[in-house]
Amino acid sequence: MAQQQAQVKFTAVKPQLMVKTPKAVDAVNFYKSAFGAVEAGRSACCPPPTAEQNLPNILCAQLELAGCSFVVYNDDSAPQKIEGIGNQLCLETDDVEAAISKAVSAGAVVEGEVTEGGGACCRGRVGKVKDPYGYVWLICSPSNKCAPVEA
């Protein structure tokens, strides 16, 4: 078992963003418009629906952005209003203000001011927007401007 465990390799890490059914289509369009995400595929439904289920038009879609993938999916159990706890997503860009402006044009809402060093792992410029589905995105200048230290 130890040897088997040592061989475990992961090929992808994908945040999964649940949105209240049936808003996944809207959310996909928002992430394309706001952040320039590219749709890599979508699935109609899995696991297979029961006859009684009133199907949303898509179950989920995989989006690609800055070399990473994330998944948007309909979930009946998704809360209408997501509290700002747990994880949030950070997007790095050289032009924080332009990125925020574009996101706002697509329907996001700015949260607070752009600050210097306000991000958890970022000493550069950091702004924050909330998307129409309740998720908070940090818009940061690249974190290689951070100064790592020994703990």
- Whole-angstrom distance, CA of residue 26 vs CA of residue 34: 12
b/e map of 76-114 (b: 16 or more CB within 10 Å)? eebeeebeeeeeeebbbbeebeebbebbeebebeeeeeb
Residue from the set 108, 122, 125, 131 that interacts with a second copy by CB under 8 A: 122
Rule CB under 8 A: say whether 80 interacts with a second copy: no
Encoding tokens for residue 27? 């959310």
Q: Is 127 in the site for a second copy (CB under 8 A)?
A: no
Number of residues that bind a second copy (CB under 8 A): 77
How near is the Cβ of 131 to a second copy at its closest, in Å? 12
Residue closer to a second copy (CB basis): 7 or 50: 7
131 is a site residue for a second copy (CB under 8 A):
no
Site for a second copy in 17-76 (CB under 8 A): 17-18, 25, 35-36, 41-44, 46-48, 57-62, 65-68, 70-71, 73, 75
Of residues 26, 114, 118, 132, which one binds a second copy by CB under 8 A? 118
Structure tokens at 113: 């001011």
| C-beta closer to a second copy: residue 51 or 87 | 87
- Rounded CA-CA distance 133/30 in Å is 10
**Are the beta carbons of 114 and 125 closer than 8 angstroms?**
yes
Question: According to the binding rule CB under 8 A, does residue 91 interact with a second copy?
Answer: yes
Tell me how far apart the alpha carbons of residues 79 and 17 are, in angstroms, rounded to a whole number.
12
